[in-house]
Amino acid sequence: MSTMREFDCLDHKVTFDEACVNVISDNSNYDSLWLYSLSSDCVSCPYKRLMSIPSIVDSSLKFSTVKAVKWRVLDNDGKNEYISAENTNDIFCELSPNMGQYGLYELAIQDKACSFRTLKNPTYPYTELFVISAIIVLILLGISAGRFLWRTYRRRYGKGGKEEATNKEPTKRRVKAIDAFRGASTLFMIFVNDGSGSYSVLGHTTWNGMLPGDLVFPCFMWIMGVCVPIALSAQLRRGIPKLEIAFTVLKRSFLLFLIGVSLNTLGTNAQLEKIRVFGVLQRFGVTYLVVSVMYLCLEPSLQLQDQDSSRNRVTRVLRDMQVLLPYWSFMLILVMVHCGLTFGLAVPNCPTGYLGPGGTHEDGYYMNCTGGAAGYIDRVVLTINHIFAGPTIASVYGSGPFDPEGILGCLTATFQVYLGVHAGVILMMYKNWKERVVRWLSWAVLYGVLGCILHFCNVIPVNKNLWSLSFVFVSTSFALAFLSGCYLLIDVVRVWQGGPFRIAGMNALVLYVGHMMCYQIFPFHWRIGEMDSRALCFIESIWVVVLWTIIAYIMHHKRTYITL
């Protein structure tokens, strides 16, 4: 719901994402008028009571401008805190005000009617974003141009020019786009976790839908899947026994889960009976274990990678699907189990197949049904003390504890990591860059279309909290398109070396864990005054990203790479 409190617009200032409304009333014949409000962020919610409107005395309110609101002035006794949007009784007037940050407005209730007008025009909220982003881009372009000129100078006039030309290794090049992709995901995750520069549009959506911040986690998991066949196949080629590799995978998964649980206790007393079990790194650990063990057990034959011109064209086009048929069968079973539990599990006092946030959603009829089957499984298996107590939906819908990285979502998350494995297999099997890119983009289009159909037909909405199937398809579509772009620019055309993301991607785990541990201490976090300037908030978030990027470059310079 919109942030609101009684406020004197003349004596105090509003900050970014806030507007002030003077409420003027001159209706001596109406002594029981009440103002109710409904935020567009709260889908299928009732109107919430805000204040009683005096018949003569004026008052002021401050509202959040992040989401649009609707108002209803009701002529009733105001006893009900919530009034259903379907209930049209007692409506004195109804408005949909258009408010912007720093704006000053007037709601006048006079002559048996309501009017809304602007007293002070709002400001454009994205000026700081565009200006600071443009400055950053210019700095990065300047650095790139300087490095290019320096390399050109050394090649032409430097002593080592000929040596550099003759000492190029003929061995297979590392695909730098993968590191750049991983680094971009890591740095943007740090940016979002730090508040995304006060821009909620760059963060996470409340429930259904997708914002840029919602793409970070699935992209990070997907690129992990891309690396699985590359890493495991290399170990198998070196003759390392599968059992030894499986033990390494198990150890790595356990450490990821353990580190994730440890991070969940930051800022707490680590009370064992209240520790949150699941989280970001825990989901990495679970999905990595399942996908890697599956790859070892069903080791695909990649001998088809030889460029045999006599091979049937249809077989050549579909060969990545052929070698992965057992994997697709296993993943199809996982998806079917997920859908069966989501839409078929009987949740007490909740409709079967409910996918809503609970709380005030649907006028509060399903108050304790948050997340449907996903939330119910977590509450039964983990108990309410071991799941996330402060989800985003709590501030909007008034919902109870819910874990967005819970048990049921691990099934579709595993499927998403497998889709990354498929992209990695394409990279290994096809040596021509055109074949790789065409296949990646073809799958991106297919996944995008499937995800949009599921979402816009309201079959399975895109939802990060539930890690819905449509969310997997749409985020994977973006990941494939983004990797294709990075691959073309970095590894094919070579007009970009991947900086500053590539170096950060080589120590992604260190950056993420370090950020989670240091996000409240200087110099990784700071404040000046009330931080009521959007530019200041944005600069602070960028500062955190730059600081961790510098750390990544220092570690790279020292050839220090920490993995599990």
How is 230-283 classified by DSSP, letter by letter?
HHHHHHHHTT--HHHHHHHHHHHHHHHHHHHHHHHTTTS---GGG-----HHHH
Which phi and psi angles does 23 have, rounded to 5°?
Answer: -100, 115
Is the sign of the CA dihedral 470, 476, 480, 486 positive or negative?
positive
Q: Starting at the earlier edge strand, list the strands of the sheet with 113-120.
A: 4-6, 59-64, 18-26, 104-110, 113-120
Q: Which homologous superfamily is 8-120 in?
A: Type VI secretion system, lipoprotein SciN (2.60.40.4150)
Q: Rounded CA gap, 474 and 469, in Å?
A: 9
Cβ neighbours for 76, distance < 8 A, ≥ 6 positions apart: 32, 34, 90
Place of tokens 């039964």: 380
Place of tokens 């274990």: 289
* CA-wise closest residue to 116 among 159, 54, 192, 61: 61
Residue spans of the domains in the chain: they are 8-120, 173-301+317-558
**Residues with pLDDT less than 70, the chain:** 1-12, 27-31, 55-57, 158-172, 301-317
Position 27 scores a pLDDT of 64
Amino acid at 411: L
Position 1 scores a pLDDT of 42
CA distances to 82, 279, 404, 444 from 30, in Å = 21, 53, 47, 60
* CA-wise closest residue to 193 among 535, 480, 517, 426: 517
Cβ neighbours for 548, distance < 8 A, ≥ 6 positions apart: 187, 190, 504, 511, 514, 515, 524
* CA-wise closest residue to 191 among 563, 546, 551: 546
Q: What torsion, rounded to 10 degrees, do the Cα atoms 249, 250, 253, 258 define?
A: -150
- What is the helix (H) or strand (E) element at residue 74, kind and residue range? strand 69-75
Q: Rounded CA gap, 341 and 126, in Å?
A: 42
